[in-house]
Structure 1
């Protein structure tokens, strides 16, 4: 990697003068030399000096006095704390402490095996940049103002066509609200449809982003165990309160990978109706299915409109896009649209315009097809690397869909030992136990393969197989 280019001379001069002013070496009211004098003294162009002093003036660090020149402005002083003062000890609320406990992230940014990370190397960057430049250059001035439409109409129309054909979602464009990612959608649902203390059924194990969003809204999280067919409400804790919300990932349960069959989907819809609950269907990566046909969406199966269908472009395009969507019952869409405009604000309309064109001209579908092919190959390469461990008893999930595999382990202690070793090998390991709200019933590793190259998957996979086999020898 090449060294960063030095800052322009005008910025270097600005920074030097700013530091002198902030440290008091250039006191309030002191006159600065003229731009010509400074330029001669420093052997700089006068325009360079003017650019630096104009920035100081714009930031209020110097002030111009007509006919007299530039003078250092009088700035507020920050009093340093006494040397003997005790360090500040933050006192978080009970809810804040609970949130912090669930907000741990994978600090290392190694390609393998970070879960939920798409193949950014596969994204058509040049094509996308051309689209962005054109839409930002040609954007209507009205799209730069505050918006209350719930998203660009062209994007909602394109999404409506796509979801109807690919996911059997029954909707019209006016039922869609564009959000800034799935997290914003979770927060909006909680704010509008629940009161503090209401219960939400959560898959156990389940997606940490949804867990923290609902915990942050003051909801009571009820863990409902997941089996080989997804959430099994018959296994929920005895005496569980009636839910206001039911959160599920039926197409590809996160993180177990289970797909909920149609009979259980229909049973879940019946239970939601009986409880008067709203079902949140998070269809986060349904595009990536390799050897099984997609099941119809819960939203498309529902006859009572109690399903809120949620999706994001983070997995199919890139996480930094920060765009998602909600498909709502028609009677609720306007309320959600107005609430979003007031509570969270809308934005990125030129970006939405570029995405709408990306979808309508077929580039989105072509990109997904390419990603699906490459992810299948990457999963195969990972399985090949892990083959010695699998032959010795390591159990992997089916991998029929999605962007990760789950490797089953015997204990949480085994998770911990492998994770400690992985840091030294520059490999990201995500323990299955961290996806549980309560005591984990299973131990394992969530192995993301979509965001790593085949070469990296081979390296990391061989390391993991060797490390797991070594642990097995210690057990025996």
Structure 2
């Protein structure tokens, strides 16, 4: 018999654990939690040999049983492996489902807040028509010669010798100001506009420049995970505010007398549920912000695409002193540009610019000049007119194909934007539909991926912004066939996917 000696003589890993003896938490649980975190972050890689329990207990100044109990807990979870007299080792692979339980945050509470809205990483299938995740847009309707001309115009001048203006190129900021006035009824000076690397960077920038550690921030739930992550990274605490068909429930923003320092909202097309913030709630939100000195982060991530209902001007136009307006060119041109902007009160704009200058996070000069050319030449407006017709036709096709199934299926969030929410009328149908779609290689985000509240909403997102007509038809064919298969199974008295 050949004995594998590769692990017999491997020295144990050096592990520095910090115990909080005043916290009241059992010592063995503190040890187990910190080991989980190090394994998740790969500080302790698979196959690593841990110190003997007696040795680690001596190092920490605790009873040996504390270490033994911690090791036993992790062995029972499949995170560690006991190999008899050879020692205790990190398992070669963590069991499925443990990823959410193991995190890198130093606080379990923050870990729960951070992981709950994080979207799962999914690889798109070979058939792109089955990739229904939002956040994508079609650049095909932008004529290639228009794009080439804009690039050529940007190349007429050499780039600046330094990083450039931390606020963004003056010509681009003037063009954005003019576009906002014409299309969104927002009148601002170019000095109030700060160019960013898109919405994610805008949220990180606002959080780092304006928040202090311990500030309370409110976010919609379900809501945009990027906002949650930005606030947590800034050391803030979170309040999850529920949403309904009229957008964020304003009366739930303040609870137990605690007023958030700011609230992040997506009023034009709530992300991900798609509702539009109603007029009365807009007024209530503005009044609340003014009365309680609260800052509003208004994220207009796809405001250019409006198909039905009232097209409200931004909240910023009613409360410019209490609002930061976030915009992006991701949906109007392409997410790959990584270009967006913040419109802010002058003092806030100065703080954002100072942060960019200090951290050297200036936006690419050529990209700014290209988009400036598209705006000034009017080509972006012409492109938006074309692409609006394209997206509205796709939205109408979705509504038409799914209308016959209204008794078993609900369609929401379809008055604007580039995605809709599809949910079964009852929980069983919803689970069956999502199960069969995934079994047919459809890639999509579940609504419950965006929530941290206990009440888990049903449904999934169908993003169509990147699709052409043929791709959407194939997606709807799959969706319709799946619905019919479940209905046939139900009529036969057997739930789909169950014996």
2: CA distance, partners of 1:420 / 1:170? 48
Residue 348 in 1 paired to residue 364 in 2? yes
Q: Which residue of 1 is the match for residue 134 of structure 2?
A: 115
Within 5 Å, give how 1:396-435 maps onto structure 2: 396-397=411-412, 399-410=414-425, 415-435=430-450
Q: Which residue of 1 is the match for residue 383 of structure 2?
A: 367
Query: How far did residue 91 of structure 1 move?
Result: 7.2
Query: How far did residue 322 of structure 1 move?
Result: 0.3
Residue 378 in 1 paired to residue 390 in 2? no
1: CA distance, partners of 2:438 / 2:413? 27
Query: How far did residue 251 of structure 1 move?
Result: 1.2
2: CA distance, partners of 1:294 / 1:171? 20
1:336–1:84 CA distance, 2 compared to 1 (3 A): closer
Count residues with an aligned counterpart. 392
What are the ranges of 5 or more consecutive residues in structure 1 without an aligned counterpart?
Answer: 1-82
CA displacement, residues 222-269 of structure 1 (integer Å, 9 cap, x when unaligned): 111112211112245842631011111111111222112222112101
1:171–1:134 CA distance, 2 compared to 1 (3 A): closer
- Give the TM-score normalised by structure 2: 0.72
Name which of 460, 465, 479 aligns with 1:450: 465
Q: Is the 8 A contact 1:181 1:324 kept in 2?
A: yes
Report the more deviating stretch, 308-317 or 397-406: 397-406
Larger Rg, first or second structure (1 or 2): 1
1:438–1:333 CA distance, 2 compared to 1 (3 A): same
Q: Which residue of 2 is the match for residue 322 of structure 1?
A: 338
Q: Is the 8 A contact 2:119 2:449 kept in 1?
A: no
Q: Which residue of 2 is the match for residue 464 of structure 1?
A: 479
CA displacement, residues 393-442 of structure 1 (integer Å, 9 cap, x when unaligned): 31112622111111122566655544443244332222111111222442
Helix, strand or coil for the counterpart of 1:94?
Answer: coil
What are the ranges of 5 or more consecutive residues in structure 2 without an aligned counterpart?
Answer: 1-45, 50-88, 92-101, 494-499
Report the more deviating stretch, 92-101 or 323-332: 92-101
1:97–1:298 CA distance, 2 compared to 1 (3 A): same
Report the more deviating stretch, 318-327 or 461-470: 461-470
Helix, strand or coil for the counterpart of 1:430?
Answer: coil
Query: How far did residue 190 of structure 1 move?
Result: 0.9
Q: Is the 8 A contact 2:408 2:424 kept in 1?
A: no
Residue 285 in 1 paired to residue 302 in 2? yes
Name which of 255, 275, 279 aligns with 2:292: 275
2: CA distance, partners of 1:389 / 1:156? 47
Q: Is the 8 A contact 1:412 1:433 kept in 2?
A: no
2: CA distance, partners of 1:388 / 1:463? 15
2: CA distance, partners of 1:114 / 1:262? 30
Within 5 Å, give how 1:206-221 maps onto structure 2: 206-221=223-238
Q: Which residue of 1 is the match for residue 179 of structure 2?
A: 162
2: CA distance, partners of 1:267 / 1:258? 17
1:465–1:241 CA distance, 2 compared to 1 (3 A): farther
1: CA distance, partners of 2:388 / 2:90? 51
2: CA distance, partners of 1:200 / 1:230? 18
